[in-house]
Amino acid sequence: MAFTTLLLCAFSLGLLSHGQPEAVRNHNSSDLLYTCNKIAAAISGASQVFFPLTPEYLFDIEHAYSSSNEASACLVEPGSAEDVGEILRILGSTRTPFAVKGGGHATNPGFSSTRGVQIAMSRFNEIKIGLTSGTVEVGAGLTWDQVYEVLELTGVNVVGGRVSGIGVAGFTLGGGYSYLSNQYGLAVDNIAGYELVLPNGTVTIVTSDDDDLWFGLRGGLNNFGIVTQFMFQSHPQGDIWAGFIYYSENELDAIKEVLVNFQQKNDDKAVLIVSLAYSLDQGVYCTIIYFYDAPTPSDIFEDFLAIPAAEGNVSTTSFSDFVQSLNPQPEFNGLRTFYNAAPVTQYSPAVFDAFVNQTKFWGAHLSTLDKNVTVISALEPFDKGLFSHGSGSAYPTLSSLLTLPSNGPTSHSIKQWPLRYATSLADGQNVSRAALYPNYALFGTPLEDMYGGNVERLQKIKAAVDPEDVMGLAGGWKF
Ligand SMILES: *[C@@H]1O[C@H](CO)[C@@H](O)[C@H](O)[C@H]1NC(C)=O
Ligand SMILES: *[C@@H]1O[C@H](CO)[C@@H](O)[C@H](O)[C@H]1NC(C)=O
Ligand SMILES: *[C@@H]1O[C@H](CO)[C@@H](O)[C@H](O)[C@H]1NC(C)=O
Ligand SMILES: *[C@@H]1O[C@H](CO)[C@@H](O)[C@H](O)[C@H]1NC(C)=O
Ligand SMILES: *[C@@H]1O[C@H](CO)[C@@H](O)[C@H](O)[C@H]1NC(C)=O
Ligand SMILES: *[C@@H]1O[C@H](CO)[C@@H](O)[C@H](O)[C@H]1NC(C)=O
């Protein structure tokens, strides 16, 4: 049984096509070849340009989901921040569409892929542990699996991704919900500094001394240049108690009851992800990821563990081994996958029922079109203190309103479905001011829905830092 697919926390649909960015139309293949050759001639020996069908090109062009794969004219692996600067200057002066790939886990088509020039950050793969500074410096081409593996024996950890395969760069630039977020906040609340290549090619370090860029980079994704290194504040880390357990549809009522109670308790070491998925033969089934930041948990999960389970187990383990165990099975890699965001302020019985209903309704409906469709909703209860750890940042916009960044089913065909209201307003929760999480929000989401009252400031910062709109040549949310 392939229940680890639930860990994709997303909806997959094999039915989609999408358009290319407008800018590509003005660039024929000889224009692109000219730009690629110009880059190859300008960069140092630390970096290299690869053309289609070479092994390096094929390896680095690959994204986690096939919906985010595109055949670029060439692929460049920069090996130094200065070379990233050279590349940006050439892309800017030739107005060539490009994309920046960190871990390649983005689910919105074109956000880290392009028909123009693909920049792959894979050579930024170093991890430097500052034992006295209490920081860890992480290259923008790494995935969290790689980071946790290196940190495993050091006794320290950083606030990073929750399942296998997530890249450091997009996760961190978009906000970053972690198993440690109840205790320390989002990834953006745990940054000591960034090495940033500005859109004009200048390499700079951004820290809390930099008012505007510091605000913008913490949630504002790739609008202000290309981040090559992230400096994280580290935290002590020992063994944890964690695992995942799979339940059949019969147990959904019991799960609902204990989930509602769980949110009344306050234990910032305890974290859950409750995933609901639909399949033709099983209906709606559930996987719960359990995490406790100590080798033995308090009694907070006792009610959950009393529910009869179909499969799975929880035990004392290392942080790194646990995250690596949350690995989608190979046959589900490469699917077309889309996320959508469905913020709620709490998982009440009515909201839980609404998530079950939408998973079942869209699962059943879309399976009639394609048996392979999987509809998954991820419910992510966090502690009330989640947003109390940071200072003003692009995301989250409103620290006074705790919103939980649930995923919900999504596709082109149900894009207009008012997911946000169907779930949250099921019991009258008013989430009209809740910011959608940019790393979950479906392409086409208005900026205001994610960045609220920050949009105007972010647009001003963008205009000042990138007057030539170089970063506008890359996909993603654009200020
Ligand atoms: C490509 O476009 C350029 C203008 O951008 C033009 O000069 C050139 O002739 C075109 N090449 C081809 C093969 O169409
Ligand atoms: C834990 O559950 C997984 C998934 O069902 C299973 O593959 C594994 O063997 C189990 N491990 C133990 C120690 O029971
Ligand atoms: C379940 O969701 C569908 C689609 O949004 C809706 O039409 C239906 O009324 C819902 N059913 C219940 C019981 O909420
Ligand atoms: C569904 O998946 C199977 C196995 O991966 C594949 O052979 C089949 O072509 C897929 N069907 C569709 C409609 O994509
Ligand atoms: C939700 O709250 C906003 C203010 O935060 C208010 O303007 C709006 O009318 C409220 N909506 C509902 C349905 O109560
Ligand atoms: C690049 O942009 C930064 C920020 O706007 C500016 O301070 C710097 O002078 C620019 N560098 C060049 C060489 O234009």
Interval between CA 181 and ligand 5 midpoint (Å): 28
Residue 311 and residue 331: Cα distance in Å, rounded? 20
- 374-411: per-residue pLDDT in tens? 778 889 999 888 999 999 999 998 665 666 666 655 44
At 279, the pLDDT band (50, 70, 90 cuts) reads confident
Mean pLDDT across the stretch 189-201?
98
- Whether residue 430 is predicted with pLDDT greater than 70 in this model: the reply is yes
Residue 470 and residue 419: Cα distance in Å, rounded? 34
- Whether residue 356 is predicted with pLDDT greater than 60 in this model: the reply is yes
Strand, coil or helix: 95? coil
Strand, coil or helix: 434? coil
| Cα–chain center distance at 331 | 21
At 161, the pLDDT band (50, 70, 90 cuts) reads very high
| Chain region(s) in the chain for CATH 3.40.462 | 2-14+239-452
Residue with tokens 């096509």: 17
C-alpha distances out from residue 279 to 288, 326, 337, 406, Å: 17, 20, 16, 20
For atom 2 of ligand 1, the residue with the nearest CA is: 28
pLDDT top residue among 250 and 403: 250
Task: Kindly report which listed range (1-5, 71-75, 99-103, 443-447) carries the lowest average pLDDT score.
Answer: 1-5
| Chain region(s) in the chain for CATH 3.30.465.10 | 29-120, 127-237
Q: Which atom of ligand 2 is nearest to the CA of 246?
A: 5
Closest Cα to residue 382, out of 399, 357, 358? 399
Q: Tokens at residue 231, please?
A: 């400096």
**Whole-number CA gyration radius for the chain:** 22
Count, residues in the chain: 479
**Omega before 405 within 30 of 0, i.e. cis:** no
Tell me, what's the pLDDT at 8?
35
- 444-468: per-residue pLDDT in tens? 889 999 999 999 999 999 999 999 9
Q: Is the CB of 28 under 6 A from ligand 1?
A: yes
Q: Which CATH architecture has domain 2-14+239-452?
A: 3-Layer(aba) Sandwich (3.40)
What CATH code would you report for 127-237?
Answer: 3.30.465.10
Residue 187 and residue 388: Cα distance in Å, rounded? 13
| Backbone φ and ψ of 251, nearest 5° | -95, 5
| Backbone φ and ψ of 334, nearest 5° | 85, 0
Residues 6+ apart with CB under 8 A from 204: 195, 196, 197, 198
Tell me, what's the pLDDT at 256?
98
Interval between CA 35 and ligand 1 midpoint (Å): 13
Q: Which atom of ligand 1 is nearest to the CA of 26?
A: 5
What CATH code would you report for 29-120?
Answer: 3.30.465.10
- 20-59: per-residue pLDDT in tens? 455 556 789 999 999 999 999 999 999 999 999 999 999 9
Residues 6+ apart with CB under 8 A from 414: 362
Q: Is the CB of 313 under 6 A from ligand 2?
A: yes
- Whether residue 233 is predicted with pLDDT greater than 80 in this model: the reply is yes
At 330, the pLDDT band (50, 70, 90 cuts) reads low
Interval between CA 64 and ligand 2 midpoint (Å): 25
Q: Which atom of ligand 5 is nearest to the CA of 433?
A: 5
Interval between CA 272 and ligand 2 midpoint (Å): 19
Closest Cα to residue 477, out of 452, 434, 447, 440? 447
* Ligand of minimum distance to the alpha carbon of 424: 5
- Whether residue 136 is predicted with pLDDT greater than 90 in this model: the reply is yes
31, 35, 93, 96, best to mutate for ligand 1 pocket (most atoms within 8 Å of CB): 31
Q: Is the CB of 357 under 6 A from ligand 3?
A: yes
* Ligand of minimum distance to the alpha carbon of 334: 4
Tell me, what's the pLDDT at 414?
45
Interval between CA 456 and ligand 6 midpoint (Å): 22
pLDDT top residue among 198 and 357: 198
- Of the chain, the percentage scoring pLDDT greater than 70 comes to 86
| Backbone φ and ψ of 232, nearest 5° | -105, 145
Tell me, what's the pLDDT at 39?
98
Tell me, what's the pLDDT at 373?
67
Mean pLDDT across the stretch 207-225?
98
214 Rama sector, left if φ>0, alpha if ψ -120 to 50, beta otherwise:
alpha
At 83, the pLDDT band (50, 70, 90 cuts) reads very high
